[in-house]
Amino acid sequence: MQIYLPIAEMPVNILVILLLGGFAGILSGLFGVGGGFLATPLLIFIGVPPAVAVSSSSNQIIAASFSGFLTHNRRKGVDFKMGFLLLVGGFFGSSLGVSLFTLLQKRGQIDLTISLIYVFFLGTIGTLMANESIKAILRKRRNLSAPKKKKENWLTRLNLPLKVHFPASNLEVSALLPITIGIIVGILMSLMGIGGGLIMVPAMIYLLRMPTSVVIGTSLFQVMFTSANVTLLQALNTHTVDIVLALLMLTGSAIGAQFGTRLGTVIPAEYQRAGLSFLILCIVIRLAFGLFVVPPNLFEIITLAQGM
């Protein structure tokens, strides 16, 4: 069954979009990520114009993250204090990122920058995460007792000002940490067009040393607001939010997020981290491949004006 999308200006198969959204939603509930990093490329693959894919993905991410957030919140899995500080940084960072995005777009180098950033950041995160989680899994298998969970790392040992107590995470760290992380994630979000959870979740686990039980809920809390911000900005500036496409996707992803959240409670934390790192590394390899291998089409054609 087909439907013609008003903004994308093309017909799509309803079932395909629902499944696409559902899959992104499962990842969302399971890992606390927005799912955008998967949904957006998949939409582009089926022929949706990239700008419409990014904006409409941001729209549906709101639904999936809100759905997952509500479930996590019911289980007391959200650190609102930390989330708020991350959010403050996030708004500053995403505004900065949007200006950077526009500048690169004018120079025609936006795709390359995005790919390089993805490869660098995700590559680092994925490798570190894979390393840590595999070690944790092996340790459990050999029935070795886990080393005392370090509440400190090199960052927290830096005597930074503005120390705040976060009861939900049982941490006491400088407020500057989440704000700075929020800013960096915000910039990356605007450049990569994703919900930010993919950077946020590892940052929370490894940099802030938050317990896994609150990481996902807090990440979803932040993703909700920032993707709402992106959706509004895109609707105002580029008019590329296709509400019909977003509605179809969010029907699938909101349901998928519910499944993902429940799945997350069953699977042990270190397997979740291993799974996420594996997914990240697959994406990184695919992107690096795209950068170094001769592209199938040497020419890129962009439509500039749209006849009204």
Partner 1 sequence: MLRLLSFFLLCYFPCIAVAKPLVASMVAGPSSTSVNIDSSFNGTELFLFGARNDPGDIVMVVRGPQDAYVVRKKARVAGIWVNSDQVWFKDVDGFYAIASSRPLKEIRNTSLLNSLGISIDQLSDLLENKIVKNVKANQEGEFSTALFNDKQKHRLYPSTIEDISFFGETLFSAVIPFPENIPRGQYIAEIYLFNSGILSGYQSLPITVKKVGMDAFLFDFAYKHSFIYGVSAIILALFGGWAAGTFFRKAG
Q: Which residues bind partner 1 (CB under 8 A)?
A: 2-4, 6-7, 9-11, 47, 59-60, 62-67, 69-71, 108-109, 111-112, 116, 228, 231-232, 234-236, 239, 241, 243-244, 246-247, 250-251, 254-255, 257-258, 291-295, 298-308
Task: Give whichever of 130 and 235 is closer to partner 1, judged by the CB atom.
Answer: 235
Q: Which of 203, 238, 237 is nearest to 222 (CA)?
A: 203
* Nearer CB in complex with partner 1: 111/132: 111
Would you say 144 or 305 has its CB closer to partner 1? 305
Taking the complex as a whole, the smallest distance from the CB of residue 11 to partner 1 amounts, in Å, to 5
The DSSP-derived string for 84-115 is: HHHHHHHHHHHHHHHHHHHHHHHHT-HHHHHH
Report which residue type is found at 306.
Answer: Q
Closer by beta carbon to partner 1, 47 or else 167: 47
Task: State in angstroms the smallest separation of the CB of 109 from partner 1.
Answer: 6
Under 8 Å between Cβ of 97 and 186: yes
Q: Are 188 and 199 a contacting pair, CB within 8 Å?
A: yes
Nearer to partner 1, 64 or 168 (CB): 64
Q: How far is the CB of 10 from partner 1 (least distance, A)?
A: 5
CA nearest neighbour of 186 among 87, 278, 85, 307: 87
Q: How far apart are CA 96 and CA 188, in angstroms?
A: 10
What number of other Cβ atoms are within 10 A of residue 72's Cβ?
25
Joined tokens for residue 154: 């090199």
CB of 300 to partner 1, least distance (A): 5
Smallest separation (angstroms) from partner 1 to the CB of 230? 10
